[in-house]
Amino acid sequence: MELIHLVDQVSFKSPIFNPHSFERDDETDDQEFYKFLRMIDHLDFIALETVTEVIKNLIIEDRPVILDLMAGWNSHISLRVNPLKLVELGLYEEELNANKTLGEYIIHDINKDPTLPFNSNSFDVVLNTLSVQYITRPLELFKEVGRMLKPKGLFLVIFSNRMFYPKAVRPWKESSEEERIILVDEYFKASGLFEATQVFVSRFKPRPKDDKYAALCRYSDPVYAFYAQRLGGDPSGPGRPGIETRFIRLPPKRSLKGGREK
């Protein structure tokens, strides 16, 4: 991949090991902040279609057991995935009740307590969609995900350049889009529980003409999907299908810095 070079080990100088790295501009209770921001689409229609397609292509299990981590009113899971069980973990009962994927849900604030109420080796897939920028204890949480996943289970983290700035952690706001890929890669590697990471990138698709921001930006919101399998299991088993990297070089003088949440 031409975007970045991912190292094999995390440097001890990485900001993920600095206890102040995950401070936020707004440290008030997350439930108070987000209660006024529910039931919105965080990306444009084209980008959301890409998210759904990536999830569908990477889940290869027949009737998988899935955890949607930091879930909201839309899990972006295609009906073709056909999970045996879907568990949604999030902050608001009203929002989770509106989720049409019809899974069971649990109210849990992962920033207050990254220890999750599930048995080890209990999920085939864990998803984190458009929320990784808000995780204040990522090293603990990624280890928890590794504990809960079955061997060869999939952890899929999807993000864009949208965010609520007051609640995004410091290294996320201070990084370019490429640097955020490195940051998430370090989360995976620091846990010591996952196989080699892979990344999918979709950028510079045309923004839908009827999108309310079409006059301001002609490009669809970028989509980054970062994923890895849990260590262990049968090494001769089927692997995840490769996903085509869709990347167009940036136009001259165009900033890579992310924008504020819409």
Task: Please give the mean pLDDT across all residues of the chain.
Answer: 83
Closest by CA to 181, choosing from 138, 234, 223, 123, is 223
Question: In the structure, what pLDDT confidence band is assigned to residue 36 with cuts at 50, 70 and 90?
Answer: low
Could you read off the pLDDT of 96-107 as tens digits, one per residue?
A: 877 777 679 999
Quick check: is 38 in a domain?
yes
Quick check: is 252 in a domain?
no
Quick check: is 262 in a domain?
no
| 107, two tokens | 């109210």
Name the domain count of the chain: 1
Question: In the structure, what pLDDT confidence band is assigned to residue 2 with cuts at 50, 70 and 90?
Answer: very low
Q: What percent of the chain has pLDDT over 70?
A: 84
Return the SS3 of 125.
Answer: strand
The domain spanning residue 56 has which CATH number?
3.40.50.150
Question: In the structure, what pLDDT confidence band is assigned to residue 254 with cuts at 50, 70 and 90?
Answer: very low
Range of the domain at 158: 15-229
d(CA 35, CA 39): 10
Quick check: is 123 in a domain?
yes
The angle that helices 138-148 and 177-191 make with each other, rounded to 10 degrees, is 60
d(CA 149, CA 236): 19
Predicted pLDDT of residue 253: 36
Could you read off the pLDDT of 127-156 as tens digits, one per residue?
A: 999 999 999 999 999 999 999 999 999 999
Question: In the structure, what pLDDT confidence band is assigned to residue 50 with cuts at 50, 70 and 90?
Answer: very high
CA angle 100, 164, 199 (to 5 degrees): 70
Question: In the structure, what pLDDT confidence band is assigned to residue 37 with cuts at 50, 70 and 90?
Answer: low
The residue among 177 and 13 whose pLDDT is bigger is 177
CB 83 within 8 A of CB 154: no
Sign of CA dihedral 17, 21, 27, 29: negative
Question: In the structure, what pLDDT confidence band is assigned to residue 262 with cuts at 50, 70 and 90?
Answer: very low
The residue among 150 and 218 whose pLDDT is bigger is 150
Quick check: is 151 in a domain?
yes
* Average pLDDT estimate for 6-13: 65
- Does residue 188 register a pLDDT over 90? yes
Quick check: is 234 in a domain?
no
The residue among 261 and 249 whose pLDDT is bigger is 261
Predicted pLDDT of residue 9: 64
